[in-house]
Each structure stands twice: as structure tokens, then as C-alpha cells.
Amino acid sequence: MLNTNASFSRKHEILVPGDKSISHRSVLFSSLAQGKSEISGFLEGEDPKNTMKCFSALGVSFVSEGSGKYSVRSPGKQGLKSPLSELDFGNAGTGIRLSAGLLAGLPQMRATLTGDESLRKRPMARIMDPLTAMGAEIESLTGDGRAPLRIHGKQLANYSYKSPIASAQIKSALVLAALSSDISIDYEESELSRDHTENMIRFLGGSINQINPLRFVLTPPYKFEGTSFRVPGDLSSASFYIVLGLCAKGEPTIIKGVGLNPSRVGIITVLQRMGGKIEISNPRSECGEAIGDLVVYPSKLHKIEIEEALIPSIIDEIPILTIAGLYSDDGFSIRHAKELRAKESDRISAMVINLKRIGVSVTEFEDGYEFKEISSIHSGLIDTFMDHRIAMSFSILSKLADIDLKIDDVSWVDTSFPGFFEILKEF
């Protein structure tokens, strides 16, 4: 395994930005809810801010009241109006997919949804097909199942769906469509995916009949009123500093106020099984979500077999988990993660290409990759493929190994973690 060159002579206490997934949903649900809402802890990153701009174009008022705080006034779902121009979601895959579901169920809506070059490469058929089966009129203007998407809102029909993959974005898009059209939905998935949308519905007073851990039925009426949304710290953002704290030497790292949704804590589970010492203190609940403070101690890590059932809960953290694998006895292996190929980049290909560039002998599979224990790496050019998590993962490696990795473009980091490099400089 690699030996770290990073050593902390003092204990670090840090705050990470608000959870990106919940920030997106705070915009969507405060727009569905009629009246005044307040949002605090909102991630001031490009992705959720683009979603907010898009809903502003639909007639919702968002007024900033300081860092991460907004006052929201919405006419409610029936008062949302068609935009005068395209809705540009930038790089926000969550924003465009969830919003497509919400808008597809509003009969008064006519909208075209688009984004930047990276977003327009991502597959949208995974939400378009089941939405169409619900009665939605949604069209890929490129003809290949990618954005821009043209939506002609419809009154949808009650729907039952068994998803072939575990995806919170698919699930949330269909649920939001059901909320918009006041219909019922019976949803089942193959593995448990993130349940932020279900938690938000419960928080707002909605009733969900949980048939079993993988299946639920949601039935109307859905009459949500304005309320106060508090967004916890993003565990996906915290994961970069969890790995830094585990793999460096010296004093522990404390990360305050992090969301600990059970469907998201797979990264903690995996790192603890690898030998990482991570403690949770001050557990509490806000806005329907579990949160707590993380205390991360320098630890000796080792390779484990990561079972398929854990993959949905760590899918976004696999790039930084791979960096932890470089500091593990016996190397690292990830399989059953084909979903990685449909993220902001093909993250399997991106990680393999970049690992090879710094001297790691890595084997690529259709659903993952693996490498044996290594003792050294060298500097190289890192291609982020316009992907913020690739940029942040190799920035953490550069800090740990004290190597000047030449990362081609770190501007993508602001889409999800503004202030990332300022925090990194403190270590």
C-alpha cells in the first residue's frame, strides 16, 4: 500500500456544504407547496442553484437571506406556469431528471429542459420510458434519449412500476410526477436506493404505505403547505475528508452536522469494514433526516469484498473510496457498479484511465475495476472528464501522496462543493 506523506499536527473541525440531493428536493417541494417556505443550509453550488433558477422561471420566488438561507413563495403546483425560454439545468443531472417528472404531470405545462455539454451526454430514457407509460408526453429533441427534453404536461394515470435498477433519480422522477397529477403510484426497486424524496413527503405530512423495504404505495391527496426546510451537511462531500482523515497521520478530523440517512451511510460502513475508525457523535434528526457529527481517526486500512447490496448506497463515493484503496493492504476491487458509467462521466473508464496515468496497474470490467496492493505512484495528467468527483478524488490523493498531480480542470468542483479547496488548504 502507499505510505502517506500527510500528517496533521492538530485536530481539524470542518463543516461541509449542504446535502446536494436534499437541496434539489427543497427547491422542488417548496415549489409544490403553496405559500411561504424557508430553506436553510442550502448548498450554494451551481447544480442546485440552477434548479432554483429554473423554478424561478416557473413563477416561484426565491429570495436570498444570507448564506444558504432563502425565503420562498410559491403559487403551488397548479399555479406554476410554462417558462418563456428553455430551462437550463447546467450540470445538474438530479435537477433535470426530477424536474422532468414533476413537470410532466402538470397539464398546464409546456417546457424544454436542457443543460451543459456534460449533461446533454447523459441517458434520459431511464426516466422517459416509465413516465411515458404513465401517460406523459416527453420527447428527446436529439432523438437518442438525451437532453434537450421537450415536455407537454398531461394528466397522468395511476401507475405501478418495478424498477430494474436501484436509482433514486428514477424513483423520485416518477413519485414527483404522481404528486403533480394527484395520482397513486406503486413503486418497487431491486435494491434500496436513497429515500430522501420519501422522507420529504413524510416530513410534509404525506402518507406512504411501506409494503416492504423495497416497495411502497403513495396515494393522494397531496396538499402540501409551505414550511421550513433544513438541509444537513452532505455526506458525499464529507467522504473526501473522511478518506483524508483516515489515510493521513496525526490528529483526528471532526466533520460537523452531516446527514446520516441510512440509505447513504454505505461509505461509512465500507470504510469501517476496511479498518477505518469513524465515530458518530451528537446524533439528532432534522427535516425528516438523521444527522450527526463524525470523528475520523487515522487508521490502517485493508481490502474487503464489497457486496452488491451496498453499491446503491456508495455509488457516488466510489471514486474517493478508490483513493482509500490505494492506501489499503491487498489493494481494492469494486464490482456490480455498472451504474457508474451513467454518471457525470463514465466513472469506471475515468478512474481506470487516470489510475494508469499515475502508475497503477488496474484491470477494468464492464461493472467495475480492481488493482492489487501498490507501493508507489508518480505524477501525471489527470483528466476529470468534466466530473467534479474525479477532480476532488485526485485532489485528495495529491494531498495524501504530496505529489503534484496535474488536474486538467477543477472548475467542475463548484457544481457540488464550493469551498472544497479552501478547506483542503487548511490541512
110-152 pLDDT, tens per residue? 999 999 998 999 999 999 999 999 999 999 999 999 999 999 9
Residue by residue, what is the 3-state secondary structure of 120-167? Answer: HHCCCHHHHHHHHHCCCEEEECCCCCCCCEEEECCCCCCEEEECCCCC
Of 230, 265, 296, the domain-final residue: 230
* DSSP codes joined into one string, 343-407: SSS-HHHHHHHHHHHTT--EEEETTEEEE---S-----EE--TT-HHHHHHHHHHHHHHT---EE
The pLDDT confidence band at residue 207, using thresholds 50, 70 and 90, is confident
The pLDDT confidence band at residue 415, using thresholds 50, 70 and 90, is confident
Nearest alpha-carbon partner for 16 in 419, 427, 425: 419
* DSSP codes joined into one string, 277-294: EEEEEEEEEETTEEEEEE
* 42 shares its domain with 140: yes
Q: What is the pLDDT of residue 410?
A: 93
* 208 shares its domain with 340: no
pLDDT score of 9 more than 80: no
Does residue 394 lie within any of the structural domains? yes
The domain tally of the chain equals 2
| CA-to-CA separations, 398 to 121, 142, 244, 395, 414, in angstroms, rounded | 29, 39, 11, 5, 19
Establish whether the linkage from the previous residue to 148 is cis, with ω within 30° of 0: yes
- Say which range, 338-347, 355-364, 385-394, has the weakest mean pLDDT: 338-347
Spatial distance between the Cα atoms of 23 and 202, rounded to a whole number of angstroms: 17
- Model confidence pLDDT, tens digit, residues 282-324: 999 888 899 999 999 999 999 999 999 899 889 999 999 999 9
Establish whether the linkage from the previous residue to 83 is cis, with ω within 30° of 0: no
Does residue 2 lie within any of the structural domains? no
* 197 shares its domain with 256: no
pLDDT score of 5 more than 80: no
The pLDDT confidence band at residue 18, using thresholds 50, 70 and 90, is very high
Which residues are the active-site residues?
316
Q: Which residues form the domain of 89?
A: 20-230
Work out whether strand 381-382 and strand 406-407 pair parallel, antiparallel, or are unpaired.
parallel
Residue 351's domain is classified under what CATH number? 3.65.10.10
Q: What is the pLDDT of residue 388?
A: 93
The pLDDT confidence band at residue 192, using thresholds 50, 70 and 90, is confident
| 329: enclosing H helix or E strand | strand 328-329
Q: What is the pLDDT of residue 408?
A: 94
Does residue 201 lie within any of the structural domains? yes
Taking residues 75-80, what's their average pLDDT?
96
Residue written as cell 397522468?
156
Residue type, 8: F
* 211 shares its domain with 165: yes
* 304 shares its domain with 331: yes
Spatial distance between the Cα atoms of 331 and 282, rounded to a whole number of angstroms: 34
Does residue 1 lie within any of the structural domains? no
Q: What is the pLDDT of residue 263?
A: 84
pLDDT score of 416 more than 90: no
| 311: enclosing H helix or E strand | helix 311-314
Cα 399 to chain centroid, rounded: 24
Cell of 77: 403546483
Cell of 280: 458518530
- Percent of the chain clearing pLDDT 90 (strictly above): 87
* 13 shares its domain with 88: no
* 26 shares its domain with 144: yes
Spatial distance between the Cα atoms of 191 and 164, rounded to a whole number of angstroms: 9
Residues in the chain: 427
Of 230, 262, 297, the domain-final residue: 230
Residue type, 182: D
Nearest alpha-carbon partner for 67 in 45, 91, 89: 45
* 151 shares its domain with 287: no
Q: What is the pLDDT of residue 32?
A: 96
* 218 shares its domain with 254: no
Enter the pTM of the model: 0.82
- Model confidence pLDDT, tens digit, residues 247-282: 999 999 999 999 999 988 999 999 999 999 999 999
| SS3 state at 193 | coil
pLDDT score of 357 more than 90: yes
Does residue 302 lie within any of the structural domains? yes
Answer yes or no: are the C-beta atoms of 278 and 295 closer than 8 Å.
yes
Of 198, 230, 262, the domain-final residue: 230
* 119 shares its domain with 217: yes
In sequence order, the β-bridge partners of residue 296 are 253, 278
Residue written as cell 429554473?
54
Q: What is the pLDDT of residue 291?
A: 95
The 10 Å Cβ neighbour count of residue 180 is 26
* 91 shares its domain with 226: yes
- Model confidence pLDDT, tens digit, residues 146-191: 999 999 999 999 999 999 988 999 999 999 999 999 999 999 998 8
* 225 shares its domain with 237: no
